[in-house]
Each structure stands twice: as C-alpha cells, then as structure tokens.
Structure 1
Amino acid sequence: MKGFIFNPVLMKELKLRFRAFKSFSGLMFYLAVLIIFVSGFLLVFTNFSVSGFFKPSQSFLMFAVLSVLQMALVMFITPGLTAGSISTEREKQTLNILLTTTQTSSQIIIGKLLSSVAFLILMLMAGLPLYSMVFLFGGVSPWQFMTMFFFYFVTLIAIGSIGIMFSTLTKRTIVSMIATYGSMIFLGGITLFFFFIGFYLDEIMTVQQNTQNLNSFSPFTYFWACINPGVLIFTLLYPELRNTLQLAVGIEFPNWIVYLIFYVLITVVCLTIAIRKLRANMKTNR
C-alpha cells in the first residue's frame, strides 16, 4: 500500500498539478460558480433586502440545489483532469521513458489517478465554507452532509477511473476526452431516459393487463434509476422520493446500495483494464 501512495509518479504529478496556473484558475472558476449561486439564492429569498428573513426550509432548498450543482461540476471537471493522464505522456513521447523506470503499471496508473483525485478533493474542501452557511441557517443534518460528500468521492473516483482507462486505450487525448464525456452523458442523461422509457412501457403493460391494483416488478427500470447520479442526489435529499420510486417499481432494495456497488465495480474494472493495457499498448506501438 505504501508503494502506491508514496511513489515518484504520484509525487511528480502532485507537484506539477498544484503548481500549474490552470489548476488554480479552474479552482477559482469552480468557487466563483458556487459563490454566484449562493449569493443569488440568498438575495432572491431575502427579497434583495438586508432585513429579509431566511428560513430553515429555504436553507435546505439551497443545500439541495447546491448539492446537485456540485455533483454536476464534479462530473464535468473530472474527465478533463483524468482523460489525458496517459495519452498526454504518449503524445509527448515520455511514456516510453516512464515505462523503463522501476515503477510498475499499477503504481503509474494509481499515481495518475490519485493526483487527479487529490485536486478534486481540494475543490470539494474549498467549497466547505459555502456549505457552512447552510448550517448557520439550519435545516440540514450533519449526516446528510457527510453522506453527500461520501457519494461525491465515490463518483469522482469512478469517473476518474473511466478517464484513466480511455486515456490508456486511446492514443490521442481528444479521443479519450470525447469517450469519457460520452460516458458521463450516458450515466447522467441516457440512464434517466431509459428509466422513463421503461417506466412508461411498464405502465402501458399494466393497463393492458388490467392489473392497476398490483405493483409492477421492474428490475431493469429500477437499475437505470439507481445508477443515475441525479436520481441518487434527490433520493438522498428527499427520502419520500425514494419510497415513491421503490413503490412504483415494486422493489424495496435501497437504490444507494446499487449505486455504490455499480460504481465500485466500474472503478475496479476500469483500473484493471488500464493497468493491463498500459504496457501492452506500448508493445503494439513499437
């Protein structure tokens, strides 16, 4: 374990990433978006008056929208940080030199991933002062806050693994980014589309069979909803939505468990493919 965390690849990537101007400009953009949102939210709900009141229910609404916005930013920023990890080395013709070192393929891939994850965690931590305003006005429990950040972490690790895998499999960074962002579109949008299509077809079949009083059993429809990050955020924020979803598909299994299992499997599979294909691709290119 020590070899994965304290390895030269990780140390070099951390120094390069945290010293680069574009990293801190990206962090500034990220915080600027959150600050503009929070400021606008407070101004709207206090009627643009310094004497306005901000209720705990409105504070929870701000937390909910801020959580959705932060998940969207995580899904948008993560591919840009990880999709070029290996392909950039290949384009600069430095990958051959990196592979001649004593570092194993696992250390190279894990080092690249951890350096990107470290910067993303820094971004999440930098936004904590804005979340402190939610606790100032009340309406949100610490458990909800910790649960939300835990699933942020699981999601960004999985997305980062997808980016690392495509960066290893492809020779061009632009192709890797397109493939990674395409995966994000699938996980964030196409899965939701499949859910609505499946739910609509289930309703038609229920009406045709005259079984309105029976709960339909739709595991595939439920699966598409479970792996969607947006659905996860809303069901964590509003438990009644989770109960409604489970009642509609006839499955009582918690959707967050399916989400966790699915994204952990994605992480393991993508990292395994990246590790095994790293040196295989070099042999082919030679």
Structure 2
Amino acid sequence: MRVNVNNPVLVKEVKLRFRSLKSFTGILFYLIAMSIFVFGFIFLTTSFSGTGFFKPDQSFILFGLLTYIQLGLILFITPGLTAGTISTEREKQTLNMLLTTSQSSMQIILGKLSSSIAFLLLMLVAGLPIYSLVFLFGGISPSQLGLIFLFFLLTMITVGSIGVMFSTITRKTIVAMIATYGTMIFLSIVTAFFFMITVQVNMMGTGAIQSPSPIAHFWASINPGILIFTLLNPTTEEFVTELTQIDFPVWAGFTIFYVVLAATAITISIKKLRVNMNRPK
C-alpha cells in the first residue's frame, strides 16, 4: 500500500495562518515589546549603577527574564492557537466535509497541530536577534540557549497536543479553551504549590527530611518554571535533590512526562475524531 506523506491539511493551515496580516502584526508588536523591555532594562541598569557598563551577571538576569517571558508566551498563546482547531470546524459545520476527504485522522490532527507549532516557532526564531544582544555582554553560553529552546519546543508540542485533544472531544471552542488553560494553570502553578506542600509535610516534626519523597520530586519535575530555573542555575537541581532526597535529573523527568502526555493526547485526538461516524443509525 502506498503511503502518502503529503499533508494537504498542513499546507492549507500554514497558508491561511502565514498569509494573515493579523498573524504578522502580532509578531511585530511582540518584537517591539521585547525590544523595549531589553533596551529599557539595559538603560535602567547602566543608569542606576553609575558606571555605564553592563556586566555579565546583569546580562544573565536579563537572559533569565527573557526566558520566563518566552515561557509565559508559550503557555498563554499555545492554548489559544490549538484549542479551537477541531471544534471551530465543527461549529462552522465544515468538519463533516473534512472527514469525507481522503485524509486520515492522523493527517488531520497532525496537520492542525503542526501549523500552530510552526507559527509559534516563527515567533521564537523572530526573537533570536533580541536574545543575541545578551551574548554581547557575556554570562550566557550558546549551548544553554539551545537547550532551553529544545525544552520550549517540547512544551509547545505538549501544550498544543492537549489543546487539540480538548478541541476534539468537546463540541464548543470556549469549553476546549477553558479546559486547556486550566491544564496549563495546573502544570505551571498548582504543581509548584503541591511541591511546596509535599516538602513541608515531609519535613514536619523534625525539621529535616528523613526519607525520600518521590511525590515531591514528581511535582517539581513536571513544572516548566522549575525546569527552566534548573537549566539557568544548576545549583537549583542540587537544591531540589536535597529537598526530595531523589537523585534524578529534573529535565529527565520533565522529558519523560511531557513526551508521554503529548503522545497520549495525540492518540486520543486521532481515536475520537471519527468516533461519531462509527455509530449505527
């Protein structure tokens, strides 16, 4: 059987998204805001120091702030781009026509997801010249930037997969967006709260951890904010290990969990896309 590697859904979605003036206007304002932030930070730092120099440690602080801004961008924009991919087609009553084409469920789901990820990648790549300003002042290695961008990519794919999954299994776009944003709040905020609570419970009574706490390490491993902090400052990894008594890299736990989560979400989306078509009338 011949396998068709061409994905018309992806081609159509990319053309529609990248030919839209609204998309590139959003990127323009994003770059303007990032530039104002970077140059404003440099100006204020050199003005308050009174020396007129921008030191490597200040450059590292700027890099950290930019990294967390990018992370917030991913967690905020990705659900908006993916949570309506299938449910919007259903609301416009065009999903049935799409399902009657020769495209498989996998091609439809992956095409919708890939177009959204491609747009987010464009935003990250467009911001690289702003990141390059940090390298002029030292304190940051290119390998560190590359590693952080790899985890950004993994986070985008996972969040996008969750958005497509909720868009497939729900009938309303607003419900899918609420569910996706709720999941992001859980992964980014609630997990950090659970981590602190679990550590405190484990330390109650003696003021020191007596036994390993795999649950606390799990909450730390699936939190993107804690992961980025460990990549920016390796001593944070040692601090998490000391609190949980689990000597397992946070980045490894993050990778395993998010890969499994993304694969599960994509599988559910593919299985549920045509579920109504198999029901007897």
TM-score bin, normalised by smaller chain: over 0.9
Note the residue ranges of structure 1 that are not aligned, 5 or more in a row: none
2:228: which partner in 1? 233
Q: Which amino acid aligns with 1:89?
A: E
Deviation of 1:29 after TM superposition, in Å, equals: 3.2
Q: Which amino acid aligns with 2:70?
A: Q
1:219 aligned onto 2:182: no
Q: Indicate conservation of the 8 Å contact 1:215/1:249, yes or no.
A: no
Name the SS of the counterpart of 2:39 in structure 1.
helix
C-alpha RMSD of the superposition: 2.0
2:96: which partner in 1? 96
1:155: which partner in 2? 155
Cα distance between partner residues in 1 of 2:213 and 2:29: 42
* Equivalent residues, number: 280
Q: Indicate conservation of the 8 Å contact 1:215/1:247, yes or no.
A: no
Deviations, residues 209-228 of structure 1 (Å, cap 9, x unaligned): xxx4x653100011001100
Deviation of 1:21 after TM superposition, in Å, equals: 2.4
Cα distance between partner residues in 1 of 2:164 and 2:148: 24
Cα distance between partner residues in 2 of 1:105 and 1:276: 8
Deviation of 1:30 after TM superposition, in Å, equals: 2.4
Name the SS of the counterpart of 1:253 in structure 2.
coil
Deviation of 1:143 after TM superposition, in Å, equals: 1.0
Is the alpha carbon distance of 1:285 and 1:247 closer, same or farther for their aligned partners in structure 2, counting shifts above 3 Å?
farther
Is the alpha carbon distance of 1:216 and 1:28 closer, same or farther for their aligned partners in structure 2, counting shifts above 3 Å?
farther
TM-score by length of 1: 0.93
Cα distance between partner residues in 2 of 1:112 and 1:152: 19
Note the residue ranges of structure 2 that are not aligned, 5 or more in a row: none
Name the SS of the counterpart of 2:274 in structure 1.
helix
Is the alpha carbon distance of 1:201 and 1:144 closer, same or farther for their aligned partners in structure 2, counting shifts above 3 Å?
same
Deviation of 1:168 after TM superposition, in Å, equals: 0.2
Cα distance between partner residues in 2 of 1:88 and 1:3: 26
Deviation of 1:282 after TM superposition, in Å, equals: 4.8
2:237: which partner in 1? 242
Deviation of 1:119 after TM superposition, in Å, equals: 0.4
Cα distance between partner residues in 2 of 1:169 and 1:230: 29
Name the SS of the counterpart of 2:47 in structure 1.
coil
1:203: which partner in 2? 203
Cα distance between partner residues in 2 of 1:260 and 1:123: 23
1:66: which partner in 2? 66
Q: Which amino acid aligns with 1:261?
A: I
2:260: which partner in 1? 265
Cα distance between partner residues in 2 of 1:21 and 1:284: 41
Deviation of 1:3 after TM superposition, in Å, equals: 4.0
Q: Which amino acid aligns with 1:119?
A: F
Deviation of 1:49 after TM superposition, in Å, equals: 9.6
Deviation of 1:61 after TM superposition, in Å, equals: 1.1
